[in-house]
Amino acid sequence: MADEPQVIDKPAPKEIIAPGYTFGTVTDQIAAVVLTKKTPPLFWMGSFAVGFGLLLLFLLAVGVLFVRGLGIWGLRAPAMWAWDITNFVWWVGIGHAGTLISAILLLLNQQWRNSINRFAEAMTLFAVACAGMFPVLHLGRPWLMYWLFPYPNSMAIEPNFRSPLVWDVFAVSTYATVSLLFWYVGLMPDLATLRDRATDRFAKFSYGIMAMGWRGSAKHWAVYETASLLLAGLATPLVLSVHTVVSFDFTIGIVPGWHSTFFPPYFVAGAIYSGFAMVLALAIPLRSAYGLQGLITDKHLDNAAKVMMATGLIVGYSYIMEAFAGWYSGNVFEQAAIWNRMTGMYKYQYWTLIACNVIAPNALWFKKVRSSPVILFIWSIIVLIGMWLERFVIIVASLSQDNLPSSWGRFEATRWDVATYLGTIGLFLFLFFLFIRLLPMISIFEVRTLLPQAKVKEDEA
Amino acid sequence: MVKPIYGVMAEFETPTALVNAARAAREKGYRKLDAYSPFPIEELSDALHLHKNMLPLIVLIGGIIGGITGYLLQYYITVYQYPLNIGGRPLHSWPAYIIITFELTILFASLSAVFGLLALCGLPMPYHPTFNVPRFALASRNRFFLCIESTDPLFDHNKTCEFLETLEPREVSEVAH
């Protein structure tokens, strides 16, 4: 028995991309989405229309806010932060999955990222744009937002660098800038492809200008590869720092339920959790609308679902630790804050978020669930709702019932809170579907490197 | 003296053929040559000896400048320009400066990475002689090109074309200026 080598029949691993593709067909399929003159699919039209409609709602909500002031939102003492900051944290968190896919998975040499990193990065960029709206609109006088930055001014005042809110300004603006740069650098070779394939003069000219004359020279590729690795190396600590700084907005304050050292990792895990949910929520309909199942395969969905589950379990663990730390602190205010979350005014939101973020992700243990795009899509929406509620409960439950019971109050959202939130979803969809129509949603050159024929055969030399 | 043409270019169908051709050209003694491919090929960088570049140094310098800028900006403002006494904490409260110092390090390093990339590649360059070859548009799709430039000391129109023909390319063409 022992002398016979054991043969374990391993099932062939699922390919990252479907077999049968060539450099040409990959290029044509992805570029056709952008370059074809045909009317885009109904899915695109519908999503873009919804996005555009909600964008108009956003403009209305912001217009009313500018005229009438912050009172149109439900902000009343003691809850002076509510939906706005919830939305800010939610959107920034969603953005994080894009950077994780493009930077961290690049450093880890996870090749499956190559066909989802482009639209995930676009998602990051637009999510951060939506996130940035809220702190600025919440300023009260949003048109003076440049006061947030240190600059020589005749008032002779400067921001207070000991405040986490100022750290946030730097973290989020750096994040937005670096994400944009990374995305653009990734696009350059594909813009050159579009320039070479476009037949329309205007398209050829525009893509040509944006491609900056990229010609695929080996000398350029060598520097380019170094640049991608360096940018990934820089973006990795950056993305972890951004949500850490977002969590500092809370932890540096002494509000019960906020002042805690495990917020940074807890927030980062939550960010990646919700971000992967958004990646799935975008990838699943996109790939079926454009017939890209050969490039964004079930393997991708499976991997993304696994990351979602892993981070979801970290988030679940954090909830348990949060409750434990509150109880173990021996501090009546901390204990009351946790107890109020579970049984107080916002108990329905709390238990819904527990159902969405602690119970629901466990379904992803099952391969059946992970291999069904429809269920995964529904699950990702559940996760997005759960993560929104998590931020809402952390922010509003703690603020409504803090140290001084005589000033407790209940936050009620107004229709303008809802309109502004839906409006940023519109802004996101509008920008995202514009991107789908105008730029390649999958990184063409990176998918080419995945093909078996891209390997240089040494023995033939 | 301006050479009458930029160089001669051979077109290949596979990355393997291009890498072998690049190696052969190096062996033959050609040094002013460049290869064009629709995706990065590591073996090609080896064949053309392209592994060293200045970019890491540029990024390091950018990062250091960013870090120093971030720290000094906060130090100058909180200690000299606009001192705020908050709960009697020291004006030079360095732990609070770390985050912005870090963010500006990353920001400056990333900006130097991108602008360094453009500078080292000589981009933007809307016109390049290689674009004159009609089939070169395929370099961004599925074809692989090797170009031996006329500035190479060994360059001789006929001999170089003959040499490229021995590499079994799909086509050899002249690259006009």
**Which tokens in the block code for residue A357?**
């973020």
Domain map of chain A by residue range?
26-449
Chain A hits for B36, CB-CB cut-off 8 Å, are: 215-218
Residue type at position A457:
K
SS (H, E, C) chain A: CCCCCCCCCCCCCCCCCCCCCCHHHHHHHHHHHHHCCCCCCHHHHHHHHHHHHHHHHHHHHHHHHHHHCHHHCCCECCECCCHHHHHHHHHHHHHHHHHHHHHHHHHCCCHHHHHCHHHHHHHHHHHHHHHHHHHHHCCCCHHHHHHHCCCCCCCCCCCCCCCHHHHHHHHHHHHHHHHHHHHHHHHHHHHHHHHHHCCCHHHHHHHHHHHCCCCCEHHHHHHHHHHHHHHHHHHHHHHHHHHHHHHHHHHCCCCCCCCCCCHHHHHHHHHHHHHHHHHHHHHHHHHHHCCCCCCCCHHHHHHHHHHHHHHHHHHHHHHHHHHHHHHHCCCHHHHHHHHHHHHCCCHHHHHHHHHHHHHHHHHHHCHHHHCCHHHHHHHHHHHHHHHHHHHHHHHHHHHHCCCCHHHCCCCCCCHHHHHHHHHHHHHHHHHHHHHHHHCCCCCHHHHHHHCHHHCCCCCCC
Predicted local confidence at residue A405, as pLDDT: 86
Q: Do A213 and B15 touch (CB under 8 A)?
A: no
For domain B5-52+130-176, give the fold: Alpha-Beta Plaits (3.30.70)
Mean pLDDT of B90-104: 92
Residue pLDDT tens, chain A, 461 long: 445 545 544 444 456 777 778 888 888 888 888 887 677 788 888 999 999 999 999 999 999 999 999 999 988 888 888 899 999 999 999 999 888 888 888 888 888 888 888 999 999 999 999 999 999 999 988 899 999 899 888 988 888 888 899 999 999 999 999 999 999 999 999 999 998 888 888 888 999 899 998 988 888 999 999 999 999 999 999 999 999 999 999 998 888 888 888 889 999 999 999 999 999 999 999 888 888 888 888 888 998 999 999 999 999 999 999 899 889 988 898 898 899 899 988 999 999 999 999 999 999 999 888 888 999 999 999 999 999 999 999 999 888 888 888 888 888 889 999 999 999 999 999 999 999 989 998 998 988 888 888 888 776 44
Which residues, other chains included, contact A353 with Cβ-Cβ below 8 Å and sequence gap of 6+? A386, A387, A389, A390, A393
Three-state DSSP class for B7? strand
Query: How many angstroms separate the CA atoms of B101 and B127, rounded?
Result: 40
Q: Do A23 and B77 touch (CB under 8 A)?
A: no
Cβ atoms within 10 Å of A174's Cβ, excluding its own: 24
Across the interface, of A23, A238, A455, the residue whose CB is closest to B38 is A23
B20 vs A: CB within 8 A:
yes
Query: How many angstroms separate the CA atoms of A304 and A13, rounded?
Result: 16
pTM: 0.90
Predicted local confidence at residue A459, as pLDDT: 60
B79 or B164: which leads in pLDDT: B79
Q: Do B142 and A219 touch (CB under 8 A)?
A: no
Across the interface, of A181, A224, A460, the residue whose CB is closest to B40 is A224
The total number of residues shown for chain A amounts to 461
**Is residue A214 within 8 Å of A188, Cβ to Cβ?**
yes
Predicted local confidence at residue A3, as pLDDT: 52
Is residue B69 very low, low, confident or very high in pLDDT (cuts 50, 70, 90)?
very high
Predicted local confidence at residue A2, as pLDDT: 47
Tens of pLDDT, residue by residue over B32-67, are 888 999 988 888 888 888 878 899 999 999 999 999
End-to-end CA separation in angstroms for chain B: 13
Please check the confidence at residue B134 and state whether its pLDDT lies above 90: no
Domain map of chain B by residue range?
5-52+130-176, 55-121
Three-state DSSP class for B115? helix
For domain A26-449, give the fold: Formate dehydrogenase/DMSO reductase fold (1.20.1630)
Mean pLDDT of B13-42: 87
Query: How many angstroms separate the CA atoms of B74 and B84, rounded?
Result: 12
Predicted local confidence at residue A199, as pLDDT: 85
H/E stretch holding B145: strand B144-149
Task: Kindly report the backbone phi and psi dihedral angles of residue A154, in degrees, each rounded to the nearest multiple of 5, phi listed first.
Answer: -75, -10
Predicted local confidence at residue A1, as pLDDT: 43
Chain B hits for A240, CB-CB cut-off 8 Å, are: none
